[in-house]
């Protein structure tokens, strides 16, 4: 049995989103082949996701100086608690699925905020004499992304997602890029069919 964390960074449903359509295809196929796995769905656009702000920065600075958690303001305590919950949720999962669309050549801001919660010194990466090193070596990840044009995974978003996961130690990484359906609508059915087949294939071994 494995805990599967699904991070959905798209606000629309499968009816209106290529990303979510392929995500749903993957989940259905994975549940069929791995019925013992436990899924946790994290819909970022319907989640109170903490963003790094002045309260968090000052709270972390105080904690680093030795201030007791109970001495932080009530607002700071709550923000630190919620931030840590997302970090702990990630740490408790063996398999990570991230789904988003490419918007303006980058990841959605909600997804960036989530990545901040898992990019934590001392928990997901550490510092050595040779530089930073990833601490998360026991997880696998899948990135599902749709884009109107074709970038072959070389866009900023795809590179960022893979780069951050590699940085914290995750090298068991697969991707499904749904590209070009908006640029060439005539090929949209073919593009979606290929993405669904890849999703089903990866689901069986993920």
Instruction: Kindly report the number of other CB atoms within 10 A of residue 106's CB atom.
Output: 14
Annotation-wise, does 149 bind a ligand? yes
Annotation-wise, does 122 bind a ligand? no
Tell the burial category of 76 from Cβ atoms under 10 Å away from its Cβ (0-12, 13-18, 19+): buried
Closest of 37, 36, 17, 44 to residue 140, by C-alpha: 37
Annotation-wise, does 163 bind a ligand? no
Cα–Cα distance between 20 and 43 in angstroms, integer? 11
Per DSSP, the three-state class of 96 is strand
> What dihedral angle (degrees, nearest 10) is formed by the CA atoms of 92, 160, 12, 51?
70
Cα–Cα distance between 89 and 95 in angstroms, integer? 11
Cα–Cα distance between 87 and 5 in angstroms, integer? 12
Annotation-wise, does 146 bind a ligand? yes
Instruction: Kindly report the number of other CB atoms within 10 A of residue 32's CB atom.
Output: 11
Instruction: Name residue, tokens 């989940």.
Output: 27
Annotated binding-site residues for FMN read 146-149
């Amino acid at each position: 049995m494995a805990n599967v964390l699904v991070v959905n960074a798209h606000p629309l449903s499968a009816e209106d989103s290529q990303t979510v359509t392929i995500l749903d295809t993957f989940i259905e196929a994975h549940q069929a082949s791995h019925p013992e796995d436990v899924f946790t769905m994290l819909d970022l656009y319907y989640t109170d996701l903490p963003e790094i702000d002045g309260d968090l920065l000052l709270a972390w600075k105080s904690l680093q100086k030795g201030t007791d958690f109970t001495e932080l303001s009530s607002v700071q305590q709550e923000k630190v608690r919620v931030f840590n919950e997302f970090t702990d949720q990630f740490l408790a999962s063996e398999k990570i699925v991230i789904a988003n669309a490419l918007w303006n050549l980058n990841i959605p801001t909600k997804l960036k905020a989530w990545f901040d919660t898992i990019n934590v010194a001392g928990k997901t990466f550490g510092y050595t004499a040779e530089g930073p090193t990833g601490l998360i070596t026991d997880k696998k990840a899948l990135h599902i992304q749709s884009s109107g044009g074709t970038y072959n995974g070389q866009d900023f978003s795809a590179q960022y997602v893979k780069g951050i996961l590699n940085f914290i130690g995750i090298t068991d990484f697969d991707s499904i890029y749904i590209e070009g359906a908006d640029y060439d609508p005539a090929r949209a059915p073919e593009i979606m069919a290929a993405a669904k087949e890849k999703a089903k294939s990866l689901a069986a071994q993920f």
